[in-house]
Amino acid sequence: MTVPVSITVNGQRYDREVEPRLLLVHFLREVIGSTGTKVGCDTSQCGACTVLLDGISLKSCTALAVQADGAEVTTIEGLAAGEALHPLQDAFWEKHGLQCGFCTPGMIMASHELLRVTPDPSDAQIRHGLEGNLCRCTGYQNIVRAVRQAAGTTAGQR
């Protein structure tokens, strides 16, 4: 059995027939081939799959595609404005906030949410705000630096 969904991803609308049990993250990765969003676990712990659903962050392995019917999803691929990186992307690059890069899409999207809610966070607030996203490479320190730098620019505005 399949059901129709209409989901807008990074500004592009997709009308598809999907199984009701299909996870949003699998809709993104497998149905429309948008593989920037990652899957790192099966218990909603790692945050690698974080996207924005109507502007608010969501671990896309915790939602069904049908729950996003009619909604707008923003993934890491939709963050830059054309060639121009989003300030968060630029800050992660500048501050060496990534190594293997696997947690990075989710980490950047979670940071986006953090800055939306707390535009000028302290280091402690950043660390607290990112506790739901795991990174095994960086030890988090440069991620904190990156978010702090991005907070000083225009992050969270877009």
Partner 1 sequence: MSTRIFGSGIRRREDPRLITGSATYTDDLTLPRMAHAAMLRSPHAHARITSIDTSRAAAAPGVVAAYTHADTEGAVAPAPCAWHLPDSDLKMADYHCLAKDVVRYVGDIVAVVVAESRYAAEDALELVDVGYEPLPAVIDPEAAAAEGAPQLHDEIAGNQAFHWQVAGGDVDAAFAEAEVVVSDRIIQQRLIPNAMEPRAALASYTRATGELTVWNTTQNPHIVRFLTSLVLGLSEDKIRVIAPEVGGGFGSKIAAYPADFVTMFCSRKLGRPVKWTETRTENYQATTHGRDHVQQVELAAKKDGTVLGLRCTVHAGMGAYLSTAAPGIPTILHGLMLSGVYTMPAVREDVYGIYTNGTPVEAYRGAGRPEATFMLERMMDVLAARLDMDPADVRRKNLIPRFEDGHDVVTSLTYDSGDYPAALDKVLSHADYAGLRARQKAGPANGAYLGLGLATYVEICGLGPSQVAGAIGFQGGLWESAIVRFHPSGKVHVFIGASPHGQGEETTFAQIVGSELGVDPQDVKVFHGDTDNTPMGWGTYGSRTTAVGGAALALTARKIRDKAKVIAAHLLEAAVEDMEYEDGKFFVKGAPDQHKTIGDIALMANVAWNMPKGVEAGLEASTFYDPPNFTFPFGAHLAVVEVDAETGAVTLKRYVALDDCGPQINPVIVEGQVHGGVVQGVGQALWEEAVYDEGGQLVTGSMLDYALPRADLLPDIEVLSTVTPSPHHPLGVKGIGEAGTIASTAAVYNAVLDALRPLGVSSVRMPLTPERVWQAIRDAKKSAP
- Kindly list the residues in this chain that would bind ligand FES in the complex (CB under 6 A): 39-41, 44-49, 59, 61, 98-104, 135-138
> Residue 153 Cβ, how far from ligand FES at the closest point, in Å?
22
Amino acid occupying residue 138: T
Residue 116's CB is within 10 A of a number of other CB atoms, namely 16
Yes or no: say if 95 and 145 are a contact pair by the CB < 8 Å rule. yes
Backbone angles phi, psi at 60, to 5 degrees: -75, -5
Residue 67 contacts by C-beta under 8 Å, 6 or more apart in sequence? 24
Rank residues 39 and 91 by Cβ distance to ligand FES and give the closer one: 39
Which token pair is 108?
Answer: 């950047």
Rank residues 51 and 70 by Cβ distance to partner 1 and give the closer one: 51
Residue 3, classed as helix, strand or coil, is strand
Which token pair is 110?
Answer: 């979670």
Rank residues 101 and 119 by Cβ distance to ligand FES and give the closer one: 101
Give the footprint of partner 1 on this chain (CB under 8 A): 19, 21-22, 29-30, 33-43, 45-46, 48, 75-77, 79-80, 85, 89, 92-94, 96, 98-105, 108, 123-124, 126-128, 130-131, 133-144
Rank residues 71 and 111 by Cβ distance to partner 1 and give the closer one: 111
Q: Which does 59 bind (CB under 5 to 8 A by kind): partner 1, ligand FES, none?
A: ligand FES
